[in-house]
Amino acid sequence: MALKLKLNSKRIIMIQEKSIFAFLDKVKPLNILLVDDDMVSQFIIAKSLGNFGDRLDICDSSEDAIKRVEVMNYDLILVDLNLPVVNGFELSKSLKLASEFNDAFPRIIGLSALDHPLLSTLVSYSEVDDYIIRSIDYRDLKSKIVNLCYLNQN
């Protein structure tokens, strides 16, 4: 469909074949699980993802996360890599195994407070698909969700 506009006595034709709105109409909301023991971080992430229209479940322990993954299909799991009892790398492997019972294959994004030089190496050898360094500004998280989940689905 073409839209015709007049601008400065010249005719301009804009073609709208692949608009972002047509793409967004086809995108289904994601089921996201956030596993984080820090309430402030939970709040900030929930607020920053609020405009996406996705379903966000939050839990603060590895045991609760595994139980939820066994009964619910999640598209994306956000895991604190520095959980107190089980580290996020170990938990990610358990979550991937538990999700296979539902024939679900969620993407996992690790959340880290520190940018350690070995972090990318650890991620590449783990079940974590990607990671972000926590900050007050979670634009990096939004961009990774779009790349890992929304664009991958469609």
Q: What is the CATH number of the domain that holds 83?
A: 3.40.50.2300
**Which amino acid is it at 76?**
L
Count of domains for the chain: 1
Mean pLDDT of 96-104: 85
Residue 82's domain comprises: 29-153
pLDDT above 80: residue 46: yes
Whether 20 maps to a domain, the answer reads no
Whether 42 maps to a domain, the answer reads yes
Tell me, what's the pLDDT at 151?
64
pTM here is 0.74
Tell me, what's the pLDDT at 78?
94
Whether 71 maps to a domain, the answer reads yes
For residue 130, the tally of other CB atoms under 10 A from its CB is 16
* Contact of 112 with 131, CB cutoff 8 Å: yes
Mean pLDDT of 57-71: 93
